[in-house]
Structure 1
Amino acid sequence: MSSSPSKRKLADYADDDDSVPFSINPSRMRKDHSALPSSSSSLFRSSTRPLQFFVRLLSDHTLVLRADSSDTVEYIHEKIQAITGIPAVEQRIIYGGRQLQWDQTLAECRVQNDAGLHLVGRMRSTGHPEMWKLINSVISLIFKLCKSSSPVCVTKTVKMMLAEFMSLPSDTDKAYEHLQIFSASSAAKALVILYTSSHANRVAADEAIRHIITSGKSILQGMPNMHHECVPIILEFCRLLKKAAGIDDPLYCVCRSSLAALLQNIEIGKKAKTGIPDIFPFVKELAIKITFAFALSTQAMPFPGPSIADIQDFSLFVAPLMQEVKDLCDPIKFPLTEDFHRVCRYGDEFRTLYKMFHELLGIFEMCLKQMEERMNNDLKQDYGILCVGSCHHLEFAKELHKISKIYSGCEDLFWETMKSHKGAFCKLVVRCAKRNADYTWIIECKEVTNFEVRRHLAMLKLPEVKDDYGEIHEMLIDRSHLLAESFEYMKNADIDSLRAGLFMEFKNEEATGPGVLREWFFLVCQAIFNPQNALFVACSSDLRRFYPNPASKVDPMHLEYFRFSGKVIALALMHKVQVGIVFDRLFFLQLGGRTITLEDIRDADPLLYNGCKQILEMDPELVDQDVLGLTFVHEVEELGTRKTVDLCTDGENVAVNSENRRKYVDSLIHHRFVIAIADQVDQFAKGFEDIMGCYRLQKSFFKYLEPEDLDWMLHGSESGISVDDWKAHTEYHGFNETDDQISWFWKIVGDMTAEQKKILLFFWTSIKYLPVEGFSGLSSRLYIYKTSESRRRLPSSHTCFYRLCFPSYRTRNVMRDRLNIITQEHVGCSFGTW
């Protein structure tokens, strides 16, 4: 026969101060009876006199209890059950050789102060006598260690004994009962007392408590339905350690983080064992701690602000409150209504959290203001330190945003605060956003972002280029068959090797390395988007803009080439190479899974755009008079022949009128720019997805960006090349800046046409289109090297290292002639070497 222990835990009695909930050896207690009454009759003179006495169990475990002389023996049995879990009905208490009866009072049984009582009964009747015996031995050892002023010689340490205890069976029911034994035994309180007793004991207790937590995690991996049983144990450790050691104690922080992690896997609420009131004190505690850390970071530099562990714990402890209100239709409004109290009984907690949000948002705003001041003062060194210390701030901003969504008006307040300090917020995102984290919450309000932020967040979705060349994909390409051979290499390549990196070499050329790779990206993209290859169509209003060609099926392998194209573009973005082309808006939107509207086709087909606008803006009466003569059909050309396609069922017989003209325009656009190129877009997206690793990442990449963002990433700067900027980012080896040859060089470059400058830059770096930031956006400065070769030699370059090399030409005219040769389009390639 077994019974669950009473719900009233040992700590409850300790708080009531009517018992001592520890197992100690009475031989170590001071037994000074000089103060006791000389006669037991004195007990009857005060029926409520407090007593302290000892109850010895079958093991060496002894309980120290306190009670009034008027209390019954039944009450003592209940207290013992609450502490040990031994059912009261199976207990027998012996005193003075006689068994005490349940209905007798302690006074009637003549129990004196410091009396020794014996508990008899079959401990095996608890169902787990060995576990009870083991945990009692643990507690006895703990108090021997606490009471002894000299080292105690033991055969087993506390950690070893607890390790044996925590080796629970795989059976869920038995594991449940064992955890109940641990809770009922007051082992947690005993361990905390050991932790605070002395330095040597502190180390032993620290190891033991950490082992319990670690063992608990191992148990939970095999028994996920046991999470709710481990929570009370860790919750008890947290409460005891907080009181005994404080919230900054390392062991307390470990226990608190373990408790926070467990909350993700259990139900919290009125029907669960753990409720909101149990965990909300941790929310308040962490909010105060985080506020204090933020305040220090704004006053003393370089103080790092709150730790990431505190922020993560705060998030996990707040999560159950989020769960509590997830079914509410609207955000919480203040003052709280009766309807709210009917569906949620945690009004006090939500009221407190509301105040916390405003306080935390205020202190976070102070941090942003400080960042702005340092940015404005151009204190680069201090600002760099500030950003390093602020990397956890972004995680906290995310948490504030989550909380803001549950309160009416708070989300708008949050974003208005971020907009007021947009520069600092954007810098924070760029400096602190890391891979494998979710930043979609930032994109919910793109007004607080800039191009730098959106580009950074999108690039985090792409694989990182590795420096290890062990698994990269090698390609040897013939320039005369550039597109076909590149396609074959990509088609047969292992995707993981493509993500790892690329090694490029052109046949019969010495040049290798990153410079050649940049050149290949530029050339192969120019070939892919060459209208003669029928894969993409250039917009008539902007020949740099492309979208898939509906007639690309003239090539039986067109869909495979679209998948190849998706891989190449993803790799070019991954390697940060500007290839000089951009996507039309409608193509970009479809890759992000967004809907195409009339305004989105303006560049792709100006004639159709203008025609549709006229239909929509025409006088309704004229439309209804059928002056347009339109029906729900669309003419398309395939392989030189024209055919009619219905835009709806029996479209040929459905006339366009003032009521259905919007539907007609939408259907026409959908067929012309969605259905007609759906397969091409899908294959391109799959190629992009191959490099990114999954469909979700491919979609999110384009959702992070605006169409013009991708323009800048693929095409680069729209501005002409600035010679002053070029010169400011160039260094010299062998030459001095004041040498005639350097002065001539920059004068000659300044006189070049815009196209010649691009060709010279391409010859020098394999980059024809600069990043949006100009030369400062390149991965390295540029270099001019003086060579000892004959002055008759043409300049050469090491494109990998951004080096231009030439001898000391005698005159400016000679230098101009040499530079004119290499800035011809058909000459400006393949001069680079490693």
Structure 2
Amino acid sequence: MSSSLSNSKRKLDDYAADDALSLLPLNPTATRMRKDQNALPSSSSNSPPSPRPLASRHRSPFLDSSRSLTRLQFFVRILSDYTLVLHADSSDTIKSIHEKIHSITGIPIIEQRLIYRGKQLQWEQTLDECMVQNDAGLHLVGRMRSTEHPQAWQLINDVVSLIFYLYKNNPPRPPPSLLALSPPKTVKSMLLEFLSMTPRNDSDQASGHLQIFNASSAPAALVMLYMSSHRPNKEAADDAIRQVISSCKTILPKHTYHQCVPIVMEFCRLLNRAAGTDDKLYGLCRSSLGTMLEYIEIGEKNGVIGLRDIFPFVSELAAKLSHDLVVSMESTTSPGPSLDDVTDFSAYLAPARSEIKKDVGFSSPIGVPLSEECFNVSVCYADEIILLHGIFIDLLSKLEKCLVKIEELVDLVMQQDGEVVMVGCCQYLAILKELNKISQLYYGCEEMFWEVMKRRKGAICYLIVRYAKRSDDHKWILQYKEVTNFEARRHLAMMMLPEVKDEYDDLHEMLIDRSHLLAESFEYIARADAESLRAGLFMEFKNEEATGPGVLREWFFLVCQAIFNPENALFVACPNDRRRFFPNPASKVDPLHLEYFSFSGRVIALALMHKVQVGVVFDRVFFSQLAGHTITLEDIRDADPFLYSSCKQILEMDSEAVDQDALGLTFVHEIEELGTRKVVELCPGGRSMVVNSKNRRQYVDSLIQHRFVIAIAEQVAHFAQGFADIMSCRRLQRSFFQCLDPEDLDWMLHGSEREISVDDWKAHTEYHGFVETDVQISWFWKIVGRMTREQKKVLLFFWTSIKYLPVEGFSGLASRLYIYRTSESFDRLPSSHTCFYRLCFPAYPTITVMQDRLRIITQEHVGCSFGTW
């Protein structure tokens, strides 16, 4: 096909000699149609203009029709060396301009495409709607044949035309051309078709294809339809925009995200101005853009998006969080900052921090106010650096006030013996986590952050216990464990363990003979697939009817007593504290000893997972190795008091006496192994290396390492692996112990060290068949009050299968305790339903009879082995 200019003929492709994707705005200077070699640049970019911050972008031509109608003169660049001068009213449509161009040039209307400010102008628009100004420059290019994606252009033009048709026809009715199709096409289906056409394996082709979407002004047209007062139009646009955003993340591969970002960014800009930041569709677009940032390159030079593009979102979200914090502080029923806002804040902060670090060549915290002398290079993002510092100060100040409010409320509610309920603080920890990251950028801010955390320790611990979730990253809190208490650290540690499932079919079943408790337990646990153990356990003893949680608690207690029994040679008890254990270096007497250590690790992890106190604790030497800490002299104080004392004396002796060989020591260690004594060198040539004042610290450290690290390294490694099996990975196993203090694990494994309080016991007991004023209940508590410490433990174990209470006492149990009245004869002993914490007995006629019955069940061989009695 060809067309005539005033004095010559050219083919259509000549009019499209420039690349169809050259979308940069033009500024022609010609005043009539003439040959002008300087009218266009010698080359043009194939990329759309770089995105700019929200505040600096011009308003969408679809969203502003407030300008008065005027007579315009404008210039249309037709070829690289021809410019056409046209006049029209601002109310004239783009279609009429195409008709004028056709009448002058002979170029068919269907082959024309007008570009202004990087966007294609649609037929249905007026010059005023397109914001075409006086003396503006437009660019005419071939419509279909001059582009590498003719089908995509045709389709997206049809989409925009359909949008305008719907917008101008209320109620909306598809144009006849679309009604003829079966089924009729919708904006959503056509956009899905357009995105599905995106080349998958060619990045350049994909980029060119996706650029068409923005260049066609499709985002602005969709937002125009979304802002329609006609509900069906608004819903159609909402559905279509959601389809585009969803497809960018699901249909298209991640390597095309950097090409999708300009599309999502354009929707964000348009919706921000048209609908505002509280609009749900805007929120979706903003969140989607935030998730894409993880997969694309950020930077003003190489990336499709830079810090100045994303920082307005950071400021916007920070302002929203600041406002919501104030509201939540003023009202306990306020929802407070939303999860979406906090998630978006985190998503935009990550690349912002990264860009700031690159900008300043980050090697040490940034001082504010900024000083050029602080940096080796000039700072490009000085404004953003200062703004982010201000955001940190503002949010930290607001959060501290919120934390003060929490502490005041907790104190008030505790005085009234009620439950603290604050709806709006569930996102406080997540915001604090982001502020911690920001604080690391600035000089003095990290110290400021942790000072606030320490001042508000009570509120921080409340937030951790109440709102910390398994899916969250809590490592940042544990950088400074002094801002937490035992309850908070226990909560964080327990979230690393699997949750016990309620479904019976998922539980790992065990049927064990009491007379072969350790061996059969080993077979059930050590040989099981770790995944099956993570769901939980179902336990019963052979030839016994009892099942359920009470039997499981009893099994945990009994099997742990067997594992840590020194007679089984797996663990050694500390001389000064027989509750404390560490691996036995001589455990190799049993050829299966390493498998038993793996089994032991699994059992302890499972006991913690099921929240059962088993009455044993780890020595500091053992705990420190599981946490990956270096063993020091102070760590061995309980494990080997004699060696500890000897090493202290060596280090504290007068230097001259040591150098005169008063010790008579060399770098060797004498050990007993399988009944024989052998000498081991602590280092190569240790037999001839005399201990003196200069190397005595090295000698002590080497002795400790050999005695408590090297000698039991295999045992510790297998125990750790067994523990990690339940947690699903070794990394979590080490983190579990690192987040605790040794005393924390003592309380979690052993339970309370205090003597059982009868008053606390009574306060947490309810009655069925009896009432508190019955004489039998009065007798019962009088008898319990006279019992020895061990008798109370045995009675509690008979009643609940718990011999060691949680550190909180009876309030830490999963349920209250119950005393049930039975109709049995008076010569019957009390019975129990340990799963439900029930103790059952008849209304004994005298206190003597009751005391006699209770004396029998509080004998160790009865109360702790009632299944065989």
TM-score, scaled to structure 1: 0.88
Offset at 1:771? 0.3
Matched, 1:242 2:263: no
Checking the alignment, whether the CA contact within 8 Å between 2:570 and 2:587 is kept in structure 1 is yes
Matched, 1:331 2:365: yes
Checking the alignment, whether the CA contact within 8 Å between 1:631 and 1:654 is kept in structure 2 is yes
- Secondary structure (helix, strand or coil) at the match of 1:202 reads helix
Name which of 313, 316, 327 aligns with 2:344: 313
Distance 1:420 1:741 in 2: 51
Q: Which segment drifts farther, 584-593 or 339-348?
A: 339-348
1:206 is aligned to: 238
1:5 is aligned to: 22
Checking the alignment, whether the CA contact within 8 Å between 1:534 and 1:549 is kept in structure 2 is yes
Q: Could you tell me which amino acid in structure 2 is paired with residue 6 of structure 1?
A: L
Q: How many residue pairs are counted as aligned between the two chains? A: 779
1:137 is aligned to: 158
Distance 1:387 1:537 in 2: 48
Distance 1:85 1:593 in 2: 66
Checking the alignment, whether the CA contact within 8 Å between 1:563 and 1:685 is kept in structure 2 is yes
Offset at 1:337? 2.3
Distance 2:169 2:444 in 1: 61
Q: Which segment drifts farther, 153-162 or 239-248?
A: 153-162
2:292 is aligned to: 262
Write out per-residue CA displacement over residues 103-123 of structure 1, whole angstroms, 9 at most, x where no aligned residue: xxxxxxxxx999xx9968462
2:851 is aligned to: 816
Offset at 1:384? 5.3
Aligned alpha-carbon RMSD (Å): 3.3
Offset at 1:621? 1.3
Offset at 1:548? 0.2
Matched, 1:166 2:195: yes
Offset at 1:171? 3.2
Offset at 1:62? 6.2
Matched, 1:673 2:670: no
The within-5 A match list for 1:364-763 is 364-378=399-413, 386-763=421-798
2:173 is aligned to: 152
1:182 is aligned to: 213
Matched, 1:124 2:145: yes
Distance 1:217 1:64 in 2: 43
Distance 2:807 2:236 in 1: 60
Write out per-residue CA displacement over residues 714-765 of structure 1, whole angstroms, 9 at most, x where no aligned residue: 0000100000000000011111111111111100000000000000000100
Distance 1:568 1:614 in 2: 40
Distance 2:60 2:352 in 1: 36
Checking the alignment, whether the CA contact within 8 Å between 2:114 and 2:139 is kept in structure 1 is no
- Secondary structure (helix, strand or coil) at the match of 1:759 reads helix
1:94 is aligned to: none
Write out per-residue CA displacement over residues 574-619 of structure 1, whole angstroms, 9 at most, x where no aligned residue: 1100000000001001011111011100000011011111111111
Q: Could you tell me which amino acid in structure 2 is paired with residue 760 of structure 1?
A: L
- Cα gap change, 1:18/1:815 in structure 2, threshold over 3 Å: closer, same or farther? closer
- Cα gap change, 1:682/1:392 in structure 2, threshold over 3 Å: closer, same or farther? same
Write out per-residue CA displacement over residues 78-100 of structure 1, whole angstroms, 9 at most, x where no aligned residue: 945933499xxxxxxxxxxxxxx
Offset at 1:341? 7.3
- Secondary structure (helix, strand or coil) at the match of 2:561 reads helix
Checking the alignment, whether the CA contact within 8 Å between 1:797 and 1:832 is kept in structure 2 is no
Q: Could you tell me which amino acid in structure 2 is paired with residue 138 of structure 1?
A: V
Write out per-residue CA displacement over residues 377-408 of structure 1, whole angstroms, 9 at most, x where no aligned residue: 11799985744432111111111111111111
Q: Could you tell me which amino acid in structure 2 is paired with residue 430 of structure 1?
A: V
Checking the alignment, whether the CA contact within 8 Å between 2:668 and 2:679 is kept in structure 1 is yes
1:276 is aligned to: 307
Checking the alignment, whether the CA contact within 8 Å between 1:53 and 1:113 is kept in structure 2 is no
Distance 1:113 1:397 in 2: 52
Distance 2:853 2:264 in 1: 78
Write out per-residue CA displacement over residues 758-796 of structure 1, whole angstroms, 9 at most, x where no aligned residue: 000001000000000000000000011111111001111
- Secondary structure (helix, strand or coil) at the match of 1:470 reads helix
Checking the alignment, whether the CA contact within 8 Å between 1:332 and 1:408 is kept in structure 2 is yes
1:108 is aligned to: none
Q: Which segment drifts farther, 483-492 or 540-549?
A: 483-492
Q: Could you tell me which amino acid in structure 1 is paired with residue 728 of structure 2?
A: G
Q: Could you tell me which amino acid in structure 2 is paired with residue 334 of structure 1?
A: V
- Secondary structure (helix, strand or coil) at the match of 2:430 reads helix
- Cα gap change, 1:122/1:463 in structure 2, threshold over 3 Å: closer, same or farther? closer
Checking the alignment, whether the CA contact within 8 Å between 1:509 and 1:830 is kept in structure 2 is no
- Cα gap change, 1:197/1:385 in structure 2, threshold over 3 Å: closer, same or farther? farther
Q: Could you tell me which amino acid in structure 2 is paired with residue 309 of structure 1?
A: D
Offset at 1:264? 0.9
Matched, 1:296 2:313: no
- Cα gap change, 1:62/1:526 in structure 2, threshold over 3 Å: closer, same or farther? farther
- Cα gap change, 1:365/1:386 in structure 2, threshold over 3 Å: closer, same or farther? farther
- Secondary structure (helix, strand or coil) at the match of 1:123 reads coil
List runs of 5+ in structure 1 lacking aligned partners.
25-30, 38-46, 66-75, 87-111
Write out per-residue CA displacement over residues 685-718 of structure 1, whole angstroms, 9 at most, x where no aligned residue: 1111111111111111101100000000000001
Q: Could you tell me which amino acid in structure 2 is paired with residue 253 of structure 1?
A: G
- Secondary structure (helix, strand or coil) at the match of 2:506 reads coil
Distance 1:710 1:763 in 2: 25
Q: Which segment drifts farther, 762-771 or 47-56?
A: 47-56
Write out per-residue CA displacement over residues 201-258 of structure 1, whole angstroms, 9 at most, x where no aligned residue: 11111111111111111244x3x33221111111111111000000000000000000
Q: Could you tell me which amino acid in structure 1 is paired with residue 517 of structure 2?
A: L
1:107 is aligned to: none
Checking the alignment, whether the CA contact within 8 Å between 2:248 and 2:260 is kept in structure 1 is yes
Checking the alignment, whether the CA contact within 8 Å between 1:52 and 1:113 is kept in structure 2 is no
Distance 1:580 1:299 in 2: 47
Checking the alignment, whether the CA contact within 8 Å between 2:188 and 2:239 is kept in structure 1 is yes
Q: Could you tell me which amino acid in structure 2 is paired with residue 213 of structure 1?
A: I
1:98 is aligned to: none
Offset at 1:63? 11
Matched, 1:217 2:249: yes
Checking the alignment, whether the CA contact within 8 Å between 1:4 and 1:85 is kept in structure 2 is no
Q: Could you tell me which amino acid in structure 1 is paired with residue 194 of structure 2?
A: F
Distance 2:60 2:557 in 1: 80
1:91 is aligned to: none
Q: Which segment drifts farther, 546-555 or 379-388?
A: 379-388
- Secondary structure (helix, strand or coil) at the match of 1:827 reads helix
List runs of 5+ in structure 2 lacking aligned partners.
1-16, 26-47, 74-84, 102-111, 123-132, 179-184
Q: Could you tell me which amino acid in structure 1 is paired with residue 166 of structure 2?
A: L
Checking the alignment, whether the CA contact within 8 Å between 2:333 and 2:423 is kept in structure 1 is no
Checking the alignment, whether the CA contact within 8 Å between 2:334 and 2:423 is kept in structure 1 is no
Offset at 1:54? 6.2
2:105 is aligned to: none
- Cα gap change, 1:48/1:356 in structure 2, threshold over 3 Å: closer, same or farther? farther
Q: Could you tell me which amino acid in structure 2 is paired with residue 359 of structure 1?
A: D
- Secondary structure (helix, strand or coil) at the match of 2:766 reads strand
